[in-house]
Structure 1
Amino acid sequence: MLFLIQLLASILAFISHGHEARAQPANTYTSLVFPITKHTDTNPLYSIQITIKGVSEDYGNYMDPSKVSNYLIDIDAPIVWHDCIDYFQFGPLPISKCKDAQPYSYNSSSCPPLYLPNYEYYPCPVNVFNPVTRSCDDTYLNADLFEMKTSDGKSILSGVYRASVRGSCASRSSFQSFPKDVTGVMAFSSAPYALPASLGLYGEPLSTKFKKITALCLPSNSSTPGVLFVGNGPYYLPPNLDVDIRSLLSYTPLLKHPDSFGYFISVNAIVIKMRSIIIPVNATTKLSTIEPYTTLRTDIYTSLVRRFSKVTRRIPSAKPIAPFGLCFSTATNGTKVGLKVPNIDLRLHGGMTWTISSANSIKQMTNDVGCLAFVDGGSTSETAITIGTFQFENNLVVFDSENSTFGFSSSLLSQNTSCANFNFTITMDY
């Protein structure tokens, strides 16, 4: 009898995909909010922390009722996956549900082919892809109840929001390449099973509360957190509590890619001191929260380095430090000095300009050496440009799947604030 109850509970948890707010008055919160941790024990990666309620409280009381886990932020991942109990081994899915789910599994040459069973009910196989090792595992589709903090854009509110999110459980060995204590991947792509699309579905009263909008503000160090919002906004960063940071954004269209639920934009040119490096019309630009630095196809990279070297020829050069090809001395007579280098402007579709200032173009590698933080991606790179996380730090970037637009602020340091300034103090809202 217990097995039948568990079986029914897990099926209902998946099909209902239920959502609810707890201890939360109506019309006070505008978004979900998560502190972002920067990890430096590996290549720089970024995570958020979420409480997993399992299915215990609402759907069966046979799992640990509460578990706090850390998840890598991945704007390319189609589904959530993490270290959890694969309880759908007790609760198989209707074959129709599995057919609906499998197109949102990972599609990679390193992933094994997926087969649908010939039975009416069966555990639903899906692939999960490790973005660090670029390896693939076959797992089964699952569902978990997540508990998330709410915000009015200025601080954390006392109420919480709970959502049943489809995903997959993976073996613990899958996370050995991740930063310490990170045991999951949280999907923020445009996929139907990513977190932004998983909130307020099926005609629930909250269906209009959270639009499919992710606002990302990565910190530049590991000592203070950045902030991630899911929802409409507004977004505020002290000391400018009278300024909605959205007012600083420029927008460019998001482009669809046939093989990815990630985010792509069109970069028409890279401009340094009024001289343009023209980008081929058919070149694609991908946005990534996994790649640590912007990677350029060799022809574009060579042109960028040549132009940057010319406009910085008066700065003493230094021996390159991998993975970079152009480095400078940042010490004069044993004294560390700041590098004054020109901005790098990305000219985007629609005439918008994303300005990359020295804080996002020069990476301090040692006390005496700073390097141009762009990497040669090779001559055969399918993606001409991949914008990495170093160029995102202390920029507010907004992935708006509702309107298919990408919003960007350029460096917030010029606005006397940073991604580390959000107020994570809980405000009682009742």
Structure 2
Amino acid sequence: MGSLTRLIVFLSILAAITRKSNSQYLFPITKHEPTNQFYTTFNIGSPTKSPVNLLLDLGTNLTWLNCRKLKSLSSLRLVTCQSSTCKFIPGNGCDGKSCLYKQPNPLGQNPIVTGRVVQDIASISTTDGGKFLSQVSVPRFTFSCAGEKTLEGLPPPVAGVLALSPGSSSFTKQVTSAFNVIPKFSLCLPSSGTGRFYIAGIHYFIPPFNDSSSSIPMTLTPIRGTDSGDYLLLVLNIYVGGSPLKLNPDLLTGGAKLSTVVHYTVLQTDIYNALAQSFTLEAKTMGIFKVPSVAPFKHCFDARTAGKNLRGPNVSVIEIGLPGRIGEVKWGFYGANTVVKVKETVMCLAFIDGGKKPENLMVIGSHQLQDHMLEFDFSGTVLAFSESLLLHNTSCSTWTSKK
């Protein structure tokens, strides 16, 4: 009987582990329209829970926030300098026994400020892929407390920055480690309304993709995480209207950084000029007239001369050639992601000239990422990306009514 009991207990534990490893978590993504920045919301603290809004940043290694925004600090615990938790945080420091973290503001509005590293309970929601289910707790969520001045330049509703970098201290790595789930997260940035942020996502219920048998088509490409906390894609070519740009190959060797805080894609001057020239020539052949520029954009057009379709304004497709499993794959950006309406009758090429010697030759911004499903998989160091959901007459803002 004892052996049978032990077997039953073992099988129960195994079943629990299996169920746990198949868990997935869902967070809302809100677009702050005045600043075009994206943030998510969840609860921190116990027993009094405080909902906090945190800016999504792919380049931050440790979440930081103004702890004065929390309703109760009673469950907040300081992380000691000698702890393994502190030692694994990039850029850590010490103040006596307390662990410190230098908080770089991703919007660059003020100098780096050092804050104390703390832990508290974070409450997040499980999901079936379509709706929020039960609340679960991350018992030792590690983050840093920031001062009021550190928040300068961030959208008013935001209390800090959520770390989504490849580093071991990022929010996503902490959640996947705490629950022993698939080490990946997914973003579906909305062009308006509410989008979705998944951790360990298995199914994504976005109409018409409402079950596992009709999953969103995704393309895989390698992704590299850097020591600075960035995600880089290896770029093979850039195409406009199906034709490759004539570029010095050295301009592509640095790859393309992905960013959720830079809104419009920034390109080194030579890359930008080649792209803008090709796009303008294509526009001319399509009967789309050029008009005076509107800052910060250099190339603008008469919106009335461009037709419309599901993908937005009917303009040339811009594609990035990336390495795939058996050759080059292309990530296409259509009208809604390539141009932006700045006046009632004026639309502009939604790319920025970053100068001759920028820190990064290419930074793909959130305007280009909107309404694409992006899946960052740490287990295989790959990025899975969808084509624009607008092609399927849906978007990241569309929430399923699945029961």
TM-score of Structure 1 vs Structure 2, range by shorter chain: 0.7 to 0.9
1: CA distance between counterparts of 2:174 and 2:399? 25
Identity of matched residues, %: 27
Q: Which amino acid aligns with 1:330?
A: A
Structure 1 stretches (4+) deviating beyond 6 angstroms? Answer: 86-90
- Aligned match of 1:292 in 263, 274, 277? 263
Q: Which amino acid aligns with 1:395?
A: H
Q: Is there any run of 5+ residues in structure 1 with no aligned partner, and where?
A: 1-24, 58-64, 106-113
Q: TM-score, normalised by structure 2?
A: 0.85
When residues 127 and 27 of structure 1 are mapped into structure 2, their CA distance, relative to the original with a 3 A threshold, is closer
How far is the alpha carbon of 1:241 from its aligned partner? 1.0
When residues 247 and 418 of structure 1 are mapped into structure 2, their CA distance, relative to the original with a 3 A threshold, is closer
2: CA distance between counterparts of 1:89 and 1:247? 40
How far is the alpha carbon of 1:423 from its aligned partner? 3.4
- Aligned match of 1:97 in 72, 84, 97? 84
SS of the residue corresponding to residue 180 of structure 1 reads coil
Q: Does 1:76 align with 2:98?
A: no
Residue in structure 2 matched with residue 186 of structure 1 by the alignment: 162
Which range is displaced more, 89-98 or 364-373? 89-98
SS of the residue corresponding to residue 254 of structure 1 reads strand
When residues 317 and 297 of structure 1 are mapped into structure 2, their CA distance, relative to the original with a 3 A threshold, is same
2: CA distance between counterparts of 1:244 and 1:47? 31
How far is the alpha carbon of 1:91 from its aligned partner? 4.3
Residue in structure 1 matched with residue 333 of structure 2 by the alignment: 356
- Aligned match of 2:141 in 152, 165, 169? 165
1: CA distance between counterparts of 2:224 and 2:362? 14
When residues 212 and 274 of structure 1 are mapped into structure 2, their CA distance, relative to the original with a 3 A threshold, is same
Residue in structure 2 matched with residue 310 of structure 1 by the alignment: 281
SS of the residue corresponding to residue 387 of structure 2 reads strand
Residue in structure 1 matched with residue 361 of structure 2 by the alignment: 384
When residues 261 and 289 of structure 1 are mapped into structure 2, their CA distance, relative to the original with a 3 A threshold, is same
Q: Does 1:331 align with 2:304?
A: yes
2: CA distance between counterparts of 1:266 and 1:288? 15
2: CA distance between counterparts of 1:151 and 1:89? 27
2: CA distance between counterparts of 1:388 and 1:424? 30
- Aligned match of 1:131 in 87, 106, 122? 106
Task: Encode CA deviations 1:352-391: one digit per residue, 9 max, x unaligned.
Answer: 1101011100101111100110110111013111000000
Residue in structure 1 matched with residue 118 of structure 2 by the alignment: 142
Two-structure CA RMSD over aligned residues (Å) = 2.5
Is 2:79–2:117's contact at 8 Å kept on the other side of the alignment? no
- Aligned match of 1:301 in 272, 275, 279? 272
Task: Encode CA deviations 1:109-163: one digit per residue, 9 max, x unaligned.
Answer: xxxxx7546x6xx011210011113531011111121100110112221343434
Residue in structure 1 matched with residue 190 of structure 2 by the alignment: 219
When residues 97 and 371 of structure 1 are mapped into structure 2, their CA distance, relative to the original with a 3 A threshold, is same
2: CA distance between counterparts of 1:29 and 1:195? 19
> Aligned ranges for residues 6-405 of structure 1 at < 5 Å?
26=19, 30-42=23-35, 44-53=36-45, 56-57=46-47, 65-84=48-67, 91=78, 93-97=80-84, 100-102=87-89, 104-105=90-91, 116=94, 122-134=97-109, 135-199=111-175, 201=177, 206-207=179-180, 210-221=181-192, 224-242=193-211, 247-257=216-226, 259-277=227-245, 278=247, 279-280=249-250, 281-313=252-284, 314-331=287-304, 338=308, 339-350=313-324, 351-405=328-382
Which range is displaced more, 93-102 or 160-169? 93-102
Task: Encode CA deviations 1:220-271: one digit per residue, 9 max, x unaligned.
Answer: 12xx2011101141112023313567541001001242x3222110111111
Q: TM-score, normalised by structure 1?
A: 0.80
Residue in structure 1 matched with residue 4 of structure 2 by the alignment: none
Is 1:165–1:193's contact at 8 Å kept on the other side of the alignment? no
When residues 94 and 291 of structure 1 are mapped into structure 2, their CA distance, relative to the original with a 3 A threshold, is closer
For these two proteins, the number of residue pairs brought into alignment is 369
1: CA distance between counterparts of 2:120 and 2:341? 41
